[in-house]
Amino acid sequence: MKKYFPTILALVLCVCISTNFARQSKVITIDKKTEKAAVTAPKEIISAQQTFAIIKPDAVEAKNTGKIIDMILQDGFEIKKMEKIQFTADQAKTFYAEHKGKPFFDGLVEFMTSGPVIIMVLEKENAIKDWRKLIGATNPAKADKGTIRQLFGTKIPKNAAHGSDAPESAKREIDLLFFR
Ligand code: RTP
Ligand code: MG
């Protein structure tokens, strides 16, 4: 028995490696009409994530909504929900509750209630991180070139867009504004 041990071990290793490879590798399907092979990633590897986005009152008023939506689509996000609303003061205070007591809080509430906004649920892999990257730094003056805040923001708090900063906040914000 002892002398077969290395062979058995090698066999077990082979099975483990090939099972894992099959799970991670792409799936190849043949299109019956064209007889061409199509390579797709198996469903279990694709894990879509949702985030909450706002086109803020300054960008809506400046008619930048269309340009921002185009950037969202070009970046590969799927818009799962979209609505034009106007925040009430209570909604704005609850939405930005983490900033209550800070010197900019009242000005932020005033800005967010000053006109209509577009609220959206965006979906793609790594949606939270990727949307924050696309909108850029909070201060438009410090945002990277080509980001939404650099292109359409002006002076803080007027920074054109909002993005959730974590899965918990995305869930909270979607519940607060789409299931109000
Ligand atoms: P957001 O929540 O809107 O996506 O913005 P953020 O995470 O990049 O920044 P956050 O710290 O959460 O601030 C929320 C919004 O408050 C305004 N603000 N003003 N005067 C100031 O120092 C100041 N700091 C922040 C901005 O409109 C910011 O987006
Ligand atoms: Mg924030």
- Per-residue pLDDT 10s for the chain (180 aa) are 556 655 554 545 434 444 444 444 444 455 555 555 555 555 555 689 999 999 999 999 999 999 999 999 999 999 999 999 999 999 999 999 999 999 999 999 999 999 999 999 999 999 999 999 999 999 999 999 999 999 999 999 999 999 999 999 999 999 999 998
> Distance between CA 119 and CA 83 in Å, rounded?
5
Q: Which residue has the tokens 């209550």?
A: 100
Ligand 1 neighbours, Cβ below 6 Å, are 99, 104, 108, 138, 156-157, 159, 162-163, 165
Which is the catalytic residue, given 162, 164, 170, 173?
A: 162
Q: Please tell me the residue having the least CA distance from ligand 1 atom 9.
A: 138
CA dihedral for 102, 104, 106, 108, sign (positive or negative): negative
Q: Which ligand is nearest to the CA of 139?
A: 1
Q: pTM for the complete prediction? A: 0.80
Q: Which ligand is nearest to the CA of 128?
A: 1
| Ranges of H-type helices in the chain | 5-24, 57-61, 65-74, 89-95, 105-112, 127-135, 148-152, 167-178
pLDDT tens digits, 29-73 = 555 555 555 555 555 556 899 999 999 999 999 999 999 999 999
Domains of the chain, earliest start first: 47-178 (3.30.70.141)
Can 162 be counted among the known catalytic residues?
Answer: yes
